[in-house]
Structure formats: C-alpha cells, structure tokens
Structure 1
C-alpha cells in the first residue's frame, strides 16, 4: 500500500531536500509539498476524498500562519482524520517551549529537528 506524505514548509529548499529524501526511500510513497498553511488546508479540503495523507510534516515558523495555526485549522476541519494521520512538527527551532508545546499537543506524534534524515523517515514509516 502506498503511503501518502504531505510536506508543509515555506522554505522551497527544505521541501526539495525532504521530497528527494522521501522519493529515494525504498517504500512505496507519494509526496506532495505546499509552502503555506493556507495552501495546505486548501489542498486537504480539495483532495480529502481521494488523496489524504498518512503522514504530515509541518514547519513551525512560516510567514502569515505558523505550524501552530495549521494545527488549529486542521483540528477544526479534519479532526475526524486525526487518528489515522501521523503528524510531525519538523522545525529548526531548538527552543524548549516549542519542543514541549509540540510534544504536548494531542495531534502531534513527535517533534523532529531539521533536517529530516533517512533514519528518522524509516522509523516514522515503520
């Protein structure tokens, strides 16, 4: 079964790197990238009947709306999917408040420091 992964990050280089890392894994995966919370919510809304992710990686710090905003909007609109999705905060922040807030949020499976690695990806997909 093909797993679907959604990457949400305003940094195009990070999205490119993570997409390539995921595509090079041996697992059957489909990857979509978006560069904002608004684009992510719109994408999920428009594709919820035929392409809904199994795994979401979301950056914390993005312009206009943050990863925290994404969690709020996702919770309001897609909470029925919350139990079937592994959602990870993927950020360069090493601030303890961000890490603890992410780990305490019931939608967030874990907090991952950038960059994503093949070892981390393997653990997540297993």
Structure 2
C-alpha cells in the first residue's frame, strides 16, 4: 500500500470540501490536503510549482461545476501542462451530476481515472487513496 503525500480537492462546495477533508484527516489517508475553489486557482498553482514534485499531488478530486474555471476547462489546461509534469497524478472526476453527457464526456479524457458520483463513501475513499 503506497502512502499518498498530497491530494488536491478542486471543488467550490464548502460543505463537501469540509466533509471530505475531515474524513481524509480523521483516517490519516494522506499527509497533505490542498483545496482549490475553482480550476483556475488549481491550474495556476500547478503551473507555478511544475518543477516541485513535493508541491504536486499524487491524486486530484475534481468537481465539474465550479465558477471561473470548471472541471472540463481545468482538464483542458492540465493536458497542456502534462508533458512538463514529471509526476504521475491520478484524477478522479467527482460530481453530483448524473447527466449521461457528463459521464460520456469523462470517458473521452484519458486523464480521468474514474467518474464518481458524490458523495464518496468512506470505504471507497480509502480504496482510492491506497490505489493511487
């Protein structure tokens, strides 16, 4: 079982972020959780720290619907940076959307490891954070 050092949560829902962060901390599922309320802040942080493997996550929990830059836009920008990132980053699209179009669109991105409907069960979260 590999230990996750850093996870990013990119989501504008304060309640969801609070709950997910609390679960991760309570069960000591990773050492560091960074939260970004939209994709623009997250992609800017990644771009600014692209050579610092310690600042980059092993795993990203990405919401779709956010203000300023949504999850799809984040993925498009992430793809542009991907070749410069020398770290394997697993991305889970986590959304309350059950829209079949979102599910199908997610399948077109090889960067998305899985599309997960909110909320994530604690047992599933443990699996994700130990599989990454």
Q: Deviations over 1:4-62 (max 9, x none)?
A: 10000011111111111111124343100010111101221233313110000110011
Match of 2:9 among 7, 10, 25: 7
Measure the CA separation in 2 of the matches of 1:88 and 1:35. Answer: 16
User: For 1:95-106, what aligned pairs fall within 5 Å after superposition?
Assistant: 95-106=99-110
> CA RMSD for the aligned pairs?
1.8
Aligned to 1:24: 26
TM normalised by structure 1 equals: 0.89
Query: How many aligned positions are there?
Result: 126
Q: CA deviation at 1:80?
A: 4.2
Aligned to 2:56: 52
The answer to whether the Cα contact below 8 Å between 2:94 and 2:116 also exists between their aligned partners in 1 is yes
| Runs of 4+ with deviation above 4 angstroms | none
- Gaps in structure 2 of 5+ consecutive residues: none
